[in-house]
Amino acid sequence: MTTPNPTDRVLSQGAKDRIIDAVSRASDELLARWPRLTGFAPASATKTDGTPVSSADLASQTILVAAIASTQPGAVILAEEDTATQCRPGTNVWFVDPLDGTNLYLAGHSDFAVLVSGWVDDEPVLSVAAFPSESILAVADHEQATFTAPDSPPEQLAVHAVYCDLPNIREAIGGMHPYEIDRFESTRTLVDVARGHAAGAIVEMCGHATWDIAAPAHLISASRGVISDEFGNRIHPHGTTVDFGYLVAARSPTLHKRLLHVLAQTTSPEGTAL
């Protein structure tokens, strides 16, 4: 195992700017190939896990990996579309999802994202999430988060369930918050919690990998929200595999505890929803 270098935790402003700029350029590349704008889908293939990968994924990934490699020499880059990187150990690790929501993107849907997240010795240092079609950019720099977007928070912040619908959740949140099911995919929902556009969320893990959750987890904690697994444990992405069943996120510790309680009531001892 390599020993973490303290300098890895301190990115220069120039390095941060290059990585954020790479996310913006990758976003532009995705929009240039987006079927809703072009009228046709980019070339794609099916991976061994049955999910698609397109030329847009690969073009975006090339931009992102080059920027990280040039600013973080020696870092481990776990990129979704590069299986050769996915078994490398390290303490300075960057998770890259060049096109989160490929199926939706290929169908012309607007709910897709670019995700980059750097972690050193299990602590996040820089995370960027962009939603190109919505002009949303979210950046977490250690314990600070900033958001750029054209939209305003809704008058009432909802609690969201993604890929699940848990009994008793409406009773638990009472009349404090609306309850919405699968309004957005998990990444957008979690980033909305981070930027104060949602009160909380319970997301069932359905084939998620670490590059899907690393950036949203950092954004929520950096914006003073709370995020954990279904047992209340902090999120520490390792390798590529997510080894828990749910993400639970909220703007306040009180709501987070309520959502954890609801989840505990509606799962079996084996951890599966009743």
Q: Estimate the share of the chain in helix, then strand, then coil, as percent rounded to the nearest 5.
A: 35, 25, 40
Q: Are 123 and 9 in contact (CB under 8 A)?
A: yes
Give residue 9's pLDDT band: very low, low, confident or very high (50, 70, 90).
low
Residues 142, 168 within the same domain? no
> Is 174 among the domain residues?
yes
pLDDT tens per residue across span 17-76: 999 999 999 999 999 999 999 999 999 999 988 899 999 999 999 999 999 999 999 899
pLDDT at residue 89, as a whole number: 67
Count of CA atoms in the C-beta half-sphere (13 A) of 251: 16
The span from the CA of 129 to the CA of 90, in Å, is: 23
Q: Does 272 have pLDDT greater than 70?
A: no
Q: Does 265 have pLDDT greater than 80?
A: yes
pLDDT tens per residue across span 135-190: 999 999 999 999 999 999 999 999 999 999 988 888 888 788 999 999 999 999 99
Residues 144, 256 within the same domain? no
Q: Does 8 have pLDDT greater than 90?
A: no
Q: Does 110 have pLDDT greater than 70?
A: yes
The span from the CA of 70 to the CA of 73, in Å, is: 6
Residues 45, 143 within the same domain? yes
pLDDT at residue 4, as a whole number: 47
- For the chain, how many structural domains are there in total? 2
Residues 51, 175 within the same domain? no
Tell me the mean pLDDT in the region 101-109: 97
Q: Are 1 and 116 in contact (CB under 8 A)?
A: no
- 148, 179, 197 — which closes off a domain? 148
Q: Does 81 have pLDDT greater than 70?
A: yes
Structure tokens at 10: 């301190």
> Is 87 among the domain residues?
yes
> Is 65 among the domain residues?
yes
> Is 222 among the domain residues?
yes
Lowest mean pLDDT of 4-13, 45-54, 77-86, name the range. 4-13
Contacts for 13 with CB less than 8 Å, ≥ 6 apart: none
Q: Does 83 have pLDDT greater than 80?
A: no
Q: Which amino acid is at 264?
A: A
Q: Does 271 have pLDDT greater than 70?
A: no
As a whole-number percent, the residues of the chain with pLDDT over 90 amount to 81
Containing structural domain, residue 179: 159-265
CA proximity to 171, closest of 183, 159, 153, 185: 159
Q: Which amino acid is at 165?
A: D
* Ordered DSSP codes for 223-248: TT-EEEETTSPPP---SSB--SSEEE
The span from the CA of 257 to the CA of 261, in Å, is: 6
